[in-house]
Structure 1
Amino acid sequence: MKLHEKLAVVAACLVAARLLFSFLRANSAAEPPPQGDQGAASQIAPEIRAGLITRQPTAFRLLRAPDLNPPPRPLTKRRKNAASDRFLDEPLFRLHTWHGEEWMHLAVVACGDRLEETMTMLKSVVLFSLSKIKIHIFAEDFLQPQFKKSMILKDVDSLLYVDTDVLFLRPVDDIWYFLNLFNSTQLAAMAPEHEIPRIGWYSRFARHPYYGAAGVNSGVMLMNLTRIRNQLFKNSMIPTGLRWEELLYPLYHKYKNDITWGDQDLLNIIFHYNPEYLYVFPCQWNYRPDHCMYGSNCRGAEDQGVSILHGNRGVYHDDKQPAFKVVYEAVRDFPFEENLFQALYFPLQNNFLKTVHTLCGRLPQVFLKQIEQTMRKEYEHRVIQRG
């Protein structure tokens, strides 16, 4: 993805009035599909759109067809048990209200040849999520007129941004929960770029400041937009601090000859000077080839399984890391009308046997554990508890 495209979504997601680039598409899960040919971002498969509208997606055909109008789920907060990755139910207060209903917000940039990845990512959202989600898709410049007259995300309190090459292997609800763990100063959350600083990219090659000992990865970024809009950010240019919309372009022009990874480098620079604003979540919430291709270095994924799979380095589309490709193709090819266990999980298990000779595929439970747990919980909820 081009630097100006990714920098644009960072600006657009975090600023109410000043949007600095000329492309936008905001898709509401509850709104009707746009009319006419409006480019890649409008080509959301009808079955995905239908799944987003229902609280429980139609994909969960376990032993019988599910009820498409289930009774409302009680609003709960999940408190983490310190001894495990399990959550205990408590009253929830963080979901954003939209027209009287509770929503989570997800943003992604979908440009050029990223259409298939984007649709597969959305499919994983539908397959495994519980609460309603409002999708914001940022697309290309044919939407420039609409972009110029819009005030983007001005009423959104919190947002989860993901790259197109991300797959959810458990409900989005569970990463949304991390908003409840922010302290009084934290306004965003990301995972480390690497778990071992001495072999990480930033600690070896970066020519600019970065967060902590190994930097952070921006492929999965959870944000409290209300706090971001109201905060001044310390920086190396102006001692009084700058607001987000005032900071991005000066920062880019100062470091444009030193940055390699675009918006991720800019975010690392920002949080280098403002570490108290960042919550760092564990590596299994942004699991990449770097966590296994040089030997396993994400203990959380070994213990609890991958929660969010991030197939950077193009591994979904080549044969360098077949374990990642197997998961991607299983989700991409799953037909919504089929049984989830029979048409997704069992073929995935079988195909994973072909990858056990590789470094990333040698521990299948790392990739399969959360999928299995999520499907079993859904099965118990729909078939056993509700009979």
Structure 2
Amino acid sequence: MRWLTLRKVILLLCFSFFVIYFIFCTRKINSNNIKDYTNTRNTDSIANSNHLTERIVLTFVVCESRFTESLNVIKSVLLFTKTPVHFIIFTDDNLIDSFNNTLSKWKYLTTNQLDFELQLITFPEAHKEEWMNLFSKCAAQRLFIPTLLPHVDTMIYVDIDTLFLGPVDELWNVSKHFNSSQILAMAHEDENPNVSWYSRFAKHPFYGKYGLNSGVMLMNLTRMRDFGWVEYVTPIMLKWKLYIPWGDQDIINIILHYHERAVYVLSCRYNYRSDQCMYGDACSDATERGVFVLHGSRKIFNNDKQPAFKAMYRAINEYEIGTDPTKVLVNMEKYLTEASPSNCGTMKEAFLKVPVETIQSLYAKPNR
């Protein structure tokens, strides 16, 4: 009897040991699996991040009927740049298929120099309608980009009425000159107090003496997130919404009025608007070195108020990706010559200087 009891105890101990060993092994296997999964996810994340930092990242916001105009931003970049460019496009449901179809073809034609991702327009639910219609439709999206693109460190934002006339690399490399306090780069609205809208009419705080134009921005999104950028925008909008006719641009100016050291001021040649020439030459840097980014604000690419701007836009609009880029120069020269006389038309050499130099450099025929 005592022997049977001892035997039962031994069997029970053996069984318990087996159960404990089984649980230990199982937990070890599961732990290893979790560790491997985590490593895989981290590797993918790092690879994706590196993928974006190896190329220029450029973004814009477009909705409703401005699809063709936005395509010309991309055309201008591809015309004058050899570096791979990753376009991040914020748009609405109606344009997703159109962008996918067109840009997939262009990606093939440019041998993958072009890459793109499409993001739906996204505003906070609180005050969503106010944000959507603050200025032009969905333009305020740019205020929220730092949190909407957590996978991006640095990027160039442009309005869809802008055209690059030289390699994007030049503007992209400006970020290397940021000091430790600077989080973004922008150009002044104007540099003449007699012309600048902000110094004459603004009823809200703005940057410096002349204010800033938000049509072209080089943004260090990592620093902007650390700065707490998005946390500022809603309280400012609610406080000043009756006094900000330029919407999101005014909000940016209000923020930077109180944080002037956060701005690297760009030359006016990187955001050249009709204000820089319609009353005479107001951007000597563009006159000497050439216009680098042409900004057709107030819809002047599509009306007859500034024939020289419309001529440049027409030349790029007619260019087809994959065809001879030198034809663009021929058309720019032709359309500028045919344009009605204007103060901006006298800046013809400044308009052509950078594209001529760039095309000749990028597409020079080899000596035989």
Q: Same fold (TM over 0.5)?
A: yes
Q: Does 1:224 align with 2:224?
A: no
Amino acid at match of 1:119: L
TM-score (norm 2): 0.71
Alpha-carbon distance in structure 2 between the residues aligned to 1:347 and 1:317: 17
1:356–1:364 CA contact under 8 A, matched in 2 = no
Alpha-carbon distance in structure 2 between the residues aligned to 1:101 and 1:254: 37
Q: Shift in Å at residue 202 of structure 1?
A: 0.3
Query: Are residues 168 and 138 of structure 1, via their aligned partners in 2, closer, same or farther at CA, if it must alter by over 3 Å?
Result: same
Alpha-carbon distance in structure 1 between the residues aligned to 2:52 and 2:60: 25
Q: Does 1:183 align with 2:179?
A: yes
Query: Are residues 259 and 147 of structure 1, via their aligned partners in 2, closer, same or farther at CA, if it must alter by over 3 Å?
Result: closer
Query: Are residues 269 and 335 of structure 1, via their aligned partners in 2, closer, same or farther at CA, if it must alter by over 3 Å?
Result: same
2:52–2:86 CA contact under 8 A, matched in 1 = no
Alpha-carbon distance in structure 2 between the residues aligned to 1:189 and 1:211: 13
Alignment of 1:299-378 (within 5 A): 299-341=284-326, 343-355=327-339, 357-378=341-362
Alpha-carbon distance in structure 1 between the residues aligned to 2:207 and 2:341: 35
Alpha-carbon distance in structure 2 between the residues aligned to 1:326 and 1:367: 10
2:37 paired residue number: none
Amino acid at match of 1:155: H
Q: Shift in Å at residue 113 of structure 1?
A: 1.5
Q: Shift in Å at residue 339 of structure 1?
A: 2.0
Counterpart selection for 1:124 from 45, 65, 76 = 76
Amino acid at match of 1:207: K
Equivalent position SS for 2:54: strand
Query: Are residues 359 and 100 of structure 1, via their aligned partners in 2, closer, same or farther at CA, if it must alter by over 3 Å?
Result: closer
2:87 paired residue number: 135
Query: Which shifted more, 303-312 or 134-143?
Result: 134-143
Identical residues among aligned pairs (%): 41
Alpha-carbon distance in structure 2 between the residues aligned to 1:286 and 1:121: 14
1:188–1:222 CA contact under 8 A, matched in 2 = yes
Q: Shift in Å at residue 145 of structure 1?
A: 8.6
1:356–1:363 CA contact under 8 A, matched in 2 = no
Query: Are residues 288 and 137 of structure 1, via their aligned partners in 2, closer, same or farther at CA, if it must alter by over 3 Å?
Result: same
RMSD (Å), alpha carbons:
2.3
Runs of 4+ in structure 1 displaced over 6 angstroms? 142-146
1:225-245 Cα shifts (integer Å, max 9, x gaps): 1111112xxxxxxxxxxx222
Equivalent position SS for 1:264: helix
Counterpart selection for 1:110 from 62, 66, 78 = 62
Q: What is the aligned residue count?
A: 276
For structure 1, the 5+ residue unaligned runs are 1-95, 232-242
Alpha-carbon distance in structure 2 between the residues aligned to 1:134 and 1:102: 10
Equivalent position SS for 2:156: strand
Alpha-carbon distance in structure 2 between the residues aligned to 1:169 and 1:181: 22
- Structure with the bigger RCO (C-alpha within 8 Å, sep 6+) is 1
Alpha-carbon distance in structure 2 between the residues aligned to 1:199 and 1:139: 34
Q: Shift in Å at residue 337 of structure 1?
A: 3.8
1:203-255 Cα shifts (integer Å, max 9, x gaps): 00000000011000000011101111112xxxxxxxxxxx2222111110000
2:60–2:89 CA contact under 8 A, matched in 1 = yes
Q: Does 1:384 align with 2:366?
A: yes
Alpha-carbon distance in structure 1 between the residues aligned to 2:49 and 2:165: 25
